[in-house]
């Protein structure tokens, strides 16, 4: 059932009004416009502007100047492979979102307009879109963290059919520094990835738990306005993780044991995965470190040296592998600034003969890679 | 425990980085900046711009020119009473969000930066903020609508304590034309209003159900990219409403009967409330029509005349009031373009001696009023 997903639906639904308007205007104002040749044209109306540029991961080489035609500025990308792309305009130096595009995502404090290119069923762009398949639900819940001394918010994906009473395995999915409990749902496209992988028969139905990894925050900053920060006891997020697992045990129908429990995360969330899995040997049957920060302290010392100086941590890592987890998966891009820390991790694991799997691809410390890693890791679970 | 809520938390958390930066810059770049005198200063950096304006409900009289000081453009509002305010900049004619403000809301296809002013506990600004009180959870679920022939998405607020097994009364809360299942949560601030009213002891704990009132849409357009529209049978949303109530009965712990069931909505959602309550006499003990469109067809005829020509509808309305509901509440602003339709409704209800309550305030067809109406209506329920 391969079809060409040229985002016809997007054009029809989101831009119908604009398209009608365009008929009566001298120049096309649609944006983004998906061209037959696989390029995408971006446009912004700025009749009084002197200079308009566009940046984004759909555009090569930083700021690119846009072409002005009677106040409509446009830029056409190269042919784009399947992916979720982000971009933003600068009008006389001021940050501008695409007014023609309802799709916007926040990354920490930065907003970008986004669009998805998909060529066929199952490609990465397809995985990030909503399709007419069975959908899981997403809940934003507040759990009690006695260890941090506050109520905290987290997001929970439950797979299609969850409400029928069956128990499901659980993946704990952790964000990076600057992210929050919404990051994996928005730029991470977790609900779409899980819906589509499950519908395609490529992943088992599972619950995905997305907590907030900043121990001082009760919730995402967009929500926590006037919620006091650092109201809690200031404990360690890693140590408080059992509060999250306890909430899941008492509030959701989950399958128990390491065979049914997975943990992964990106960047700081990769560090959290590294540390939380060490603190809980035998708890997680599957671990995924995506572009992970892997060290015990802020130091230039090798991981081996750090572990030599922290024998209790070395013992925890030993216990983790003694419990024979199904998968310890390390993924990183060649240009990632944390690449060397992951080399050091692999050197140590090799030396200790601790089994792991490694995936390396192009690119750096970016959401494109984390969506790919989640899509791959989820297919290996349970 | 009255305190001055001057959004100190906002300043501390969201703008700490910027504030630090500002120390080293010639001019303050914080935005929004809450001044001691109750005004708010908005700023945007646009060194190359010729003209920068700001519009919003915190600013009187349409586009106001901003003042340029070395490329930082600023505007200071009048003293602002408690409220949630929206604004947007225009840099040389291009739409610009406040890069210094993480709070943004979408209304249909339009994005605005937002901030909240609150002076004391319990004022409307206070109700719209997150405070350190017990929080309810919010779920985005997909329910099956056999009558519309598709799976559809809706949002559900459950009050603090919901998971302890007790059943709760239910308010069905409907959005206007152009809105979707996210509208009442974002600009409507439903979760904050309910959390705060419940914490203050001013509203009973209840479940709030926010469906998507566009019968042709499976979900919000931001989510439905590549989900086919009009895939269903094209039935009437009003008639399909029992699918929503059936889902709630089978999936949530709800108290049954009219004493425990309320329905309200804004604009088109007010029309839906008017029609759905007529189609289900005795089902809802409480009804709220907020800035409602109140007519049976597209006509200039009076409501009385329309009901005379549709005796089945007149009989439904009679049955509705024969069931003796606790409250039929009509609220509208003096400047609302639907004001006359509500005059006609009240004339008809008066003539028939059907009991109702009426609230009229300043302003037009705006979210400010709908938040106020929800805050008032919720306090009257159950």
Whether B178 shows a pLDDT value over 90: the answer reads: no
Task: List CB contacts (< 8 A) between B94 and chain A.
Answer: 44-46, 49, 52, 89, 91, 94, 96
For residues B328 and A166, give the distance between their C-alpha atoms in angstroms, rounded to a whole number: 42
In this complex, do B45 and A132 lie within 8 Å of one another by their Cβ atoms? no
Query: What's the average model confidence in pLDDT over B317-329?
Result: 98
Whether B13 shows a pLDDT value over 50: the answer reads: no
Q: What CATH superfamily classification does A133-378 receive?
A: Alpha/Beta hydrolase fold, catalytic domain (3.40.50.1820)
Q: What is the pLDDT of residue A27?
A: 65
Q: Assign B220 a pLDDT band (cuts: 50, 70, 90).
A: confident
Tell me the CATH number for domain B8-127.
2.60.40.10
Residues B41, A98, B34, CA angle at the centre, nearest 5°? 10
For residues B31 and A342, give the distance between their C-alpha atoms in angstroms, rounded to a whole number: 40
For residues A109 and A99, give the distance between their C-alpha atoms in angstroms, rounded to a whole number: 19
Of A131-140, B82-91, B218-227, minimum mean pLDDT range: B218-227
In this complex, do A96 and B94 lie within 8 Å of one another by their Cβ atoms? yes
In this complex, do B92 and A9 lie within 8 Å of one another by their Cβ atoms? no
Task: List CB contacts (< 8 A) between A104 and chain B.
Answer: 111
In this complex, do B151 and A134 lie within 8 Å of one another by their Cβ atoms? yes
More confident residue, A23 or B226: B226
Of B109, B129, B227, the CB nearest to A226: B129
- pTM value is 0.90
Q: What is the pLDDT of residue A88?
A: 94
Helix axes A268-279, A237-251, angle to 10 degrees: 80
Task: List CB contacts (< 8 A) between B139 and chain A.
Answer: 137-140
Query: What's the average model confidence in pLDDT over B32-61?
Result: 93
**Mean pLDDT rounded to a whole number for chain B:** 89
In this complex, do A135 and B142 lie within 8 Å of one another by their Cβ atoms? yes
Closest residue of chain A to B93, computed from CA coordinates: A46
In this complex, do B225 and A47 lie within 8 Å of one another by their Cβ atoms? no
State how far residue A291 is from chain B, nearest Cα, in angstroms. 25
Q: What is the pLDDT of residue A108?
A: 78
Whether B277 shows a pLDDT value over 60: the answer reads: yes
More confident residue, B46 or A81: A81
Task: List CB contacts (< 8 A) between A229 and chain B.
Answer: 9, 12-13
Task: List CB contacts (< 8 A) between A226 and chain B.
Answer: 5, 7, 9-10, 118, 129-131
Residue ranges of alpha helices (H) inside chain A are 8-14, 16-24, 124-128, 183-186, 190-199, 221-224, 237-251, 268-279, 303-309, 311-322, 339-352, 367-378
Interface size, chain A vs chain B, as Cβ–Cβ contacts under 8 Å: 175
Q: How many CB atoms lie within 10 A of CB A78?
A: 11
- Parts of chain A with a pLDDT under 50: 1-24, 226, 228-233
Whether B246 shows a pLDDT value over 80: the answer reads: yes
In this complex, do A46 and B106 lie within 8 Å of one another by their Cβ atoms? no
Q: What is the pLDDT of residue A24?
A: 44
For residues B52 and A336, give the distance between their C-alpha atoms in angstroms, rounded to a whole number: 39
In this complex, do A91 and B89 lie within 8 Å of one another by their Cβ atoms? no
Of B47, B94, B163, the CB nearest to A46: B94
Q: Which of B239, B238, B245, B246 is nearest to B268 (CA)?
A: B238
DSSP designation for A246: H
Q: What is the pLDDT of residue A225?
A: 55
pLDDT digits (tens, 9 = 90+) for B147-177: 988 889 999 999 999 988 899 999 999 999 9
In this complex, do A13 and B104 lie within 8 Å of one another by their Cβ atoms? no
Most A CBs within 10 A among B46, B73, B94, B218, hence the mutation to make, goes to: B94
State how far residue B253 is from chain A, nearest Cα, in angstroms. 13
In this complex, do B46 and A94 lie within 8 Å of one another by their Cβ atoms? yes
Of A46, A138, A221, the CB nearest to B92: A46
Q: Is A297 exposed, middle or buried (0-12, 13-18, 19+ CB in 10 A)?
A: exposed
First to last CA, chain A: 27
In this complex, do A13 and B225 lie within 8 Å of one another by their Cβ atoms? yes
* CA B50 to the chain's CA centroid: 37
Identify each DSSP E strand in A170-244 by its residue range: 170-174, 207-210
State how far residue B86 is from chain A, nearest Cα, in angstroms. 15
Closest residue of chain B to A163, computed from CA coordinates: B251
In this complex, do A96 and B93 lie within 8 Å of one another by their Cβ atoms? no
Sign of CA dihedral B333, B337, B338, B342: positive
Q: What is the pLDDT of residue B234?
A: 54
Whether B232 shows a pLDDT value over 90: the answer reads: no
In this complex, do A130 and B223 lie within 8 Å of one another by their Cβ atoms? yes
Q: What is the pLDDT of residue A4?
A: 36
Most B CBs within 10 A among A92, A219, A228, hence the mutation to make, goes to: A92
Of B48, B91, B221, the CB nearest to A13: B221
User: Does domain B133-379 correspond to CATH entry 3.90.1150.200?
Assistant: no
For residues B364 and B367, give the distance between their C-alpha atoms in angstroms, rounded to a whole number: 9
Q: Assign B235 a pLDDT band (cuts: 50, 70, 90).
A: low
Q: Which of B15, A267, A107, A17 is nearest to A88 (CA)?
A: A107
Task: List CB contacts (< 8 A) between B129 and chain A.
Answer: 225-226
In this complex, do B111 and A104 lie within 8 Å of one another by their Cβ atoms? yes
In this complex, do A7 and B225 lie within 8 Å of one another by their Cβ atoms? yes
State how far residue B363 is from chain A, nearest Cα, in angstroms. 27
Could you state, in order of their start, the residue ranges of all structural domains in chain A?
8-127, 133-378
State how far residue A199 is from chain B, nearest Cα, in angstroms. 15
Most B CBs within 10 A among A70, A102, A113, A225, hence the mutation to make, goes to: A225
In this complex, do A48 and B51 lie within 8 Å of one another by their Cβ atoms? yes
Q: Which of A286, A293, A174, A171 is nearest to A237 (CA)?
A: A174
Q: Which of A152, A173, A378 is nearest to A273 (CA)?
A: A173
């Amino acid at each position: 059932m391969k079809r060409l997903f040229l985002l016809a639906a997007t054009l029809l639904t989101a831009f119908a009004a604009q398209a009608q308007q365009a008929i009566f205007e001298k120049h096309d104002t649609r944006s983004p416009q998906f061209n037959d040749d696989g390029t995408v044209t971006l446009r912004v109306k700025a009749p009084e502007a002197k200079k308009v540029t566009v940046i984004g991961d759909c555009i090569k080489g930083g700021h690119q100047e846009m072409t002005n035609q009677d106040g409509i500025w446009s830029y056409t990308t190269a042919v784009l492979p399947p992916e979720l792309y982000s971009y933003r305009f600068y009008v006389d130096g001021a940050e501008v979102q695409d007014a023609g595009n309802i799709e916007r995502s926040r990354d920490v404090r930065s907003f970008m307009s986004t669009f998805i290119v998909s060529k066929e069923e199952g490609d990465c762009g397809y995985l990030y879109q909503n399709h007419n398949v069975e959908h899981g639900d997403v809940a934003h819940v507040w759990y009690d963290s006695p260890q941090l001394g506050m109520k905290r918010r987290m997001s929970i994906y439950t797979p299609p059919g969850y409400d029928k009473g069956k128990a499901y395995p659980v993946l704990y999915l952790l964000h990076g520094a600057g992210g929050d409990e919404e990051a994996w749902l928005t730029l991470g496209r977790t609900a779409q990835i899980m819906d589509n992988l499950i519908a395609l028969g490529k992943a088992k139905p599972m619950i995905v738990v997305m907590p907030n990894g900043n121990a001082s925050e009760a919730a995402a900053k967009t929500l926590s306005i006037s919620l006091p920060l650092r109201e809690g006891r200031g404990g360690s997020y890693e140590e408080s993780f059992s509060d999250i697992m306890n909430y899941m045990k008492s509030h959701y129908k989950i399958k128990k044991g390491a065979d049914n429990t997975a943990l992964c995360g990106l960047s700081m969330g990769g560090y959290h995965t590294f540390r939380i899995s060490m603190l809980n040997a035998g708890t997680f049957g599957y671990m995924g470190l995506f572009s992970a920060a892997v060290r015990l302290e802020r130091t230039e010392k090798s991981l081996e040296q750090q572990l030599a100086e922290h024998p209790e941590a070395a013992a925890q890592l030993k216990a983790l592998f003694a419990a024979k987890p199904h998968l310890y998966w390390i993924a990183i891009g060649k240009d990632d600034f944390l690449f060397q820390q992951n080399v050091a991790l692999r050197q140590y694991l090799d030396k200790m003969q601790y089994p792991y799997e490694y995936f390396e691809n192009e690119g750096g410390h970016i959401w494109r890679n984390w969506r790919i890693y989640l899509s791959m890791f989820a297919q290996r679970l349970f």
